[in-house]
Structure 1
């Protein structure tokens, strides 16, 4: 049986906007946009991995809310799962610390203005119900 590595990404929402992160590395992904996150480590839940990854990559303290339905294949052996997430009160403003060079908070009307990584497109579509201006 092939090892299955789970990559968790955060649909981080604030004031009806979704956070998008532009990759700066590796070179084949640089310049394209993604939902930030990373690999789930052995013994770690996806929710804890997401909180850890968003702290490492963005310097932000977050809370995973609910899993976005679905999972999407990445490279062989890797699968992407997405969780809706919120910044915790008092958290630092997210900043591009690792693997990213720009962040943007996108309104529902701006979601498709950035060049998403191919595997993130269905994940972003799945996250759209969490982008609620009244939330």
Structure 2
């Protein structure tokens, strides 16, 4: 079976991480995730992340580096998470989300993250705390 990568964006700006609340499908609605989506054929994972964040949030971003690990979503789909930098624009929930929040490292536990996003969120939080001390 071919495994397709779903890329999640740990979008960081001013020492905070962007969280997006799902509006669909019903079984995920109301829970929070790192925004992103499926890679298209012939597209690199960083290219997919930049495209997905443009489509979902209306912003221009730069993919930086992959957070180690991969998390199965369902058969044939696996989640990879990349850190990303906001280049231009202000994120707005255009599709699949009904609310966005910028969370500081100490606020990451204030929302109900999707289970598969939790390890990458924890790692992004560690990186934000390290940057804050730098």
Into which bin does the TM-score normalised by the smaller protein fall? Answer: over 0.9
- Residue 134 of structure 1: CA displacement? 6.4
TM-superposition CA deviations, 1:70-120 (whole Å, max 9, x none): 1111111110001100011xx110000000000000011100110001111
Residue aligned with 1:51, SS: helix
Higher share in helix: 2
Residues 134 and 48 (structure 1), Cα distance of their counterparts in 2 relative to 1, 3 Å cut: farther
Q: Is the 8 A contact 2:105 2:126 kept in 1?
A: no
How many residue pairs match? The answer is 132
Structure 2 Cα separation of the partners of residues 57 and 68 of structure 1:
21
Cα RMSD (Å): 1.2
Residue equivalent to 2:125: 128
The separation in 2 between residues aligned to 1:72 and 1:119, in whole angstroms, is: 6
Residue 83 of structure 1 aligns with which residue? Answer: 82
Preserved CA contact (<8 Å) 1:11 1:82: yes
Q: Tell me, which stretches of 5 or more residues in structure 2 are unaligned?
A: none
Show the 5 A alignment for 1:13-32.
13-32=12-31
The CA distance in 2 between the partners of 1:134 and 1:47, in whole Å, is: 28
- Give 1:71's aligned residue: 70
Task: Describe the SS at the equivalent of 1:93.
Answer: coil
Secondary structure of the corresponding residue to residue 80 of structure 1: strand
